[in-house]
Structure 1
Amino acid sequence: MDPLENIPDRDIRLDACRGIALWFVFVNHIPGNICSWLTLSHYGFSDTTEVFMFVSGLTCTMAYGHVFRSAGAWTTICHTVRRSWEIYAAFLLLMLFLVVAVHWIDADLADDANVAIVLQQPGEALSRAAILQYRPVNTDVLPTFVLFHLLFAPLLFFLLRRPNATLAASALLYGLVQIYGWNFRGWPTNDWYFNPFAWQFLVTLGGWWVVVGRWRLMPLVTSRPLIMLSAAYLIWALVVTMSWVNPALELAVPQFLKPLIYPIDKSGLDPLRLLHFLALAVCVTNLAPAHWAAMRSRVLLGAVRCGENSLEVYCVGVLLSLAAYAFLGTVSGSALAQVMVSATGVTVLTGFATLLTWLTGLAAPRIRLF
């Protein structure tokens, strides 16, 4: 069976998931925002980053698989390299916009936005940013996506020819990272926040699912025992995360377990985070079928528009979150102000994405990793 003949077309649910994730990212990027309690980050071990990585593997395999089938390997490579360049350029422009925004809004925000070093050592900072070692606040995910997209064509070729071996190699690399902590160095300190050696597993898993996984594992994913097991794990993760803010729930985590599960590292995609995302994916898959009527609602249509323009919406969201943080710090930090700022930001992002979709006149699915 030719795997290229069985790659599905674009799934609108993926754009909706990515759009909702973008809303959550914006809300979470505002420090101390009470509306962050509406997002995933407070209710389990994983958050929107896992959604982005896995969905990216899905959508890229779908889109580039069709390109590979119709136009060949060289055209596929050209598409992936071009998209990698677009994300790279967006990262550099976003860094410059952040510096300008801090200068205009409030110079005291330089440390919060991690751009003070650009003002102090502009030459060194810009050169380090050019090789993806320096990253202002909330831009850490972009260099990881630059690298993933640059290497996605060879990953796709391996997935199409040896999908199981490719997934096994990806899992092996992920496991070695958990043991040895391999990562790229950042600047001026620390490693890459989103360790590419670890997070590549979710991208590969998404691609593998498109090529062979959905045919082999869908009966298992929709089986009652796995759904119940996934739900139980999600409930346990919820209780554990709630214990971090409510000491009365600390008994949910026995003392002998704490050294085994803590710390739950985000940078290296801790196994508990990975399992939490997989459990969440199982439940969402069963709750939101392909022809779910709610996908035609206005709210989810707005999420779809954001998902279609994910890179642009993410970059604008980073700038809006900085402006929102400055507003809450200088005008009002009340709960009502936080709700109003969050709602306004989500509305602006949705309107911006809708405008982009209208201007570009999407007649065909666009290729996205991010």
Structure 2
Amino acid sequence: MGPLHKMPDRDIRLDACRGIALWFVFINHIPGNICSWLTLSHYGFSDTTEVFMFVSGLTCTMAYGHVFRSAGTWATICHTVRRIWEIYSAFLLLTLFLVVAVHWMDADLADEANVAIVLQKPGEALSRAAILQYRPVNTDVLPTFVLFHLLFAPWLLLLLRWPNAALAASALLYGLVQTYGWNFRGWPTNDWYFNPFAWQFLVTIGGWWAVVGHGRLAPFVMSRPAIMLSAAYLIWSLAVTMSWINPALELVVPQFLKALVYPIDKSDLDPLRLLHFLALAVCVANLAPAHWSVMRSRMLLGAVRCGENSLEIYCVGVLLSLAAYLVLRTISDGMLAQVIVSGTGIALLTVFATLLTGFAGLAAPRIRLL
């Protein structure tokens, strides 16, 4: 296969899935939120992180692949460098905003937001943040994406020329991480929460699917055996996760199975989490076809807009989740209050994403004043 693989056109399902994932991330970032039962995290081994990583790998490969085919290698490198700067700047600004927000809203949140170290050692903490070693709460995914984009141009070239070799190399690295636990060190303690050596595999799977996978595996993904196997795995995963909160169900899970399955590690993308996401993806692909009219309805338009502005919505969502938690702590943490706060946050994210999309259309072509 040459470098000019025919890749699929942009699929509105990708933005819709990414937008819904961002809503779920916001909900899950509010501690003790009853609305988290509406998200994926309680019903299986994987959660919205897997959705976000896979869709990002797929959409980035499609976008940068078109740039590579039309403008060449250097243009692709320039696009990835610009995106690195955008994500890196967003991470640093979000870190500063979290520190300022905690300082002004409630200093008691400093430990929970993991910004107490900044208030104690501002110089060292901000220096560590600049080299991606220090990360406040809920910002861990951004440094991982900075690293992914840093390596994206050479990775994309390999993927376009030798897609199967790229997938095999990625799988080998993933397997070595599961065996030896390779990771980057964080500061002041612990490793990177989203281990780049492990999560790169899911990003690569998304990219491989965009390049050749959709043509080769689509018949299998849509086949009855694939659907039945995926559904069976999802049901088994649901039963196991329900046993974590129901003592009666926990007694039913055999001891040998617990020893075999646990722990299901998120940081290193446990194989059971990976399989759960792939099974979920198979079912979604069959239940929501590409030209499904619901995807273009008003009901999902807000999710599509959020998916189109994923970086900005993620950052704003982190700040909103902190504000929501403070509201619940100071006013009321009842079930109704949690529902109202969660719904208001999603509405604000949707309005903000819609405004961003509108501004982007009005601002093109951009006028540079400096």
- TM bucket (normalised to shorter chain) is over 0.9
**1:88 deviation in Å?**
0.4
SS in 2 for 1:4: coil
SS in 2 for 1:112: coil
Q: Which residue of 1 aligns with 2:204?
A: 204
Contact 2:53 2:199 in 1 (8 A): yes
Write the mapping of 1:1-370 to structure 2, written as runs, cut at 5 A: 2=2, 4-361=4-361
Query: Which AA in structure 2 matches 1:246?
Result: N
**1:363 deviation in Å?**
10
Q: Which residue of 1 aligns with 2:368?
A: none
SS in 2 for 1:361: helix
Cα–Cα, structure 1 residues 257 and 340, in superposed 2: closer, same or farther, change >3 Å? same
Distance 2:197 2:275 in 1: 18
Per mean C-alpha deviation after superposition, the further-off stretch among 321-330 and 1-10 is: 1-10
Show CA shifts across 1:24-45 (max 9, x none): 0000000000000000000000
Distance 2:3 2:73 in 1: 15
Contact 2:5 2:211 in 1 (8 A): no
Show CA shifts across 1:322-366 (max 9, x none): 0000010110000000000000000000000000000101899xx
Q: Which residue of 1 aligns with 2:367?
A: none
SS in 2 for 1:111: coil
Contact 2:2 2:161 in 1 (8 A): no
SS in 2 for 1:257: helix
Distance 1:324 1:211 in 2: 41
Contact 1:185 1:191 in 2 (8 A): yes
SS in 1 for 2:45: coil
**1:248 deviation in Å?**
1.5
TM-score (norm 2): 0.97
The sequence identity of aligned pairs, in percent, is 85
Q: What is the alpha-carbon root mean square deviation over aligned residues?
A: 1.2
Cα–Cα, structure 1 residues 14 and 362, in superposed 2: closer, same or farther, change >3 Å? farther
Contact 1:240 1:252 in 2 (8 A): no
SS in 2 for 1:183: coil
Distance 1:42 1:13 in 2: 23
Distance 1:343 1:24 in 2: 11
**1:249 deviation in Å?**
1.2
Cα–Cα, structure 1 residues 84 and 362, in superposed 2: closer, same or farther, change >3 Å? farther
Query: Which AA in structure 2 matches 1:223?
Result: S
The number of aligned residues is 364
**1:253 deviation in Å?**
2.3
**1:252 deviation in Å?**
4.5
Query: Which AA in structure 2 matches 1:335?
Result: M
Distance 1:63 1:29 in 2: 29
**1:299 deviation in Å?**
2.2
Distance 2:46 2:7 in 1: 28
Cα–Cα, structure 1 residues 252 and 280, in superposed 2: closer, same or farther, change >3 Å? farther
Show CA shifts across 1:49-93 (max 9, x none): 101110011101111111001100000001011101100000000
Contact 1:3 1:212 in 2 (8 A): no
SS in 1 for 2:313: helix
Give the gaps of 5 or more residues in structure 1. 365-370
Give the gaps of 5 or more residues in structure 2. 365-370
Distance 1:70 1:237 in 2: 44
Contact 1:26 1:318 in 2 (8 A): yes
SS in 1 for 2:256: coil
Distance 2:23 2:309 in 1: 13
Query: Which AA in structure 1 matches 2:87?
Result: I
Distance 1:356 1:100 in 2: 24
**1:4 deviation in Å?**
2.6
